[in-house]
């Protein structure tokens, strides 16, 4: 019988975007390298699209069982230029 490991994540770094932020741009430096968007890597202001990037990566992992950004040596390739510019 196959078993699965369920991991719960902590949203302690969560921020609320919108009118409650006072209209100022929000930049973040936190996040799991495998799931953060290019905006976070570049330290650009984040938007709701930033969250959609992470949702897309999580969906890809759930559907394929693979990470879209792992190299041949299984290191996350977040620091290389192609994820920031692509």
For residue range 52-79, list pLDDT tens digits in order: 998 899 899 989 988 887 766 544 454 4
* Helix (H/G/I), strand (E/B), else coil: 68: coil
Would the pTM of this model clear 0.85, i.e. be above it?
no
pLDDT at res. 29: 85
Tell me, yes or no, whether 19 lies in a domain.
no
83, 38 contact by CB (below 8 A): yes
Measuring CA to CA, which residue among 85, 14, 61 is closest to residue 69?
61
Measuring CA to CA, which residue among 72, 33, 37, 66 is closest to residue 52?
37
For residue range 14-54, list pLDDT tens digits in order: 777 777 666 688 888 888 888 888 998 899 998 888 889 98
Tell me, yes or no, whether 53 lies in a domain.
yes
pLDDT at res. 78: 47
Identify which has the larger pLDDT, 28 or 81: 28
Report the domain count for the chain. Answer: 1
Tell me, yes or no, whether 77 lies in a domain.
yes
């Amino acid at each position: 019988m196959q078993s699965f490991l369920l991991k719960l994540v902590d949203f302690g770094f969560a921020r609320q975007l919108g009118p409650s932020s006072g209209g100022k741009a929000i930049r973040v430096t936190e996040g799991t390298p495998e799931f953060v968007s290019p905006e976070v890597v570049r330290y650009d202001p984040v938007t709701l699209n930033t969250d959609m990037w992470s949702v897309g990566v999580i969906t890809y992992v759930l559907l394929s069982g693979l990470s879209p950004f792992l190299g041949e040596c299984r290191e996350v390739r977040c620091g290389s230029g192609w994820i920031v510019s692509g």
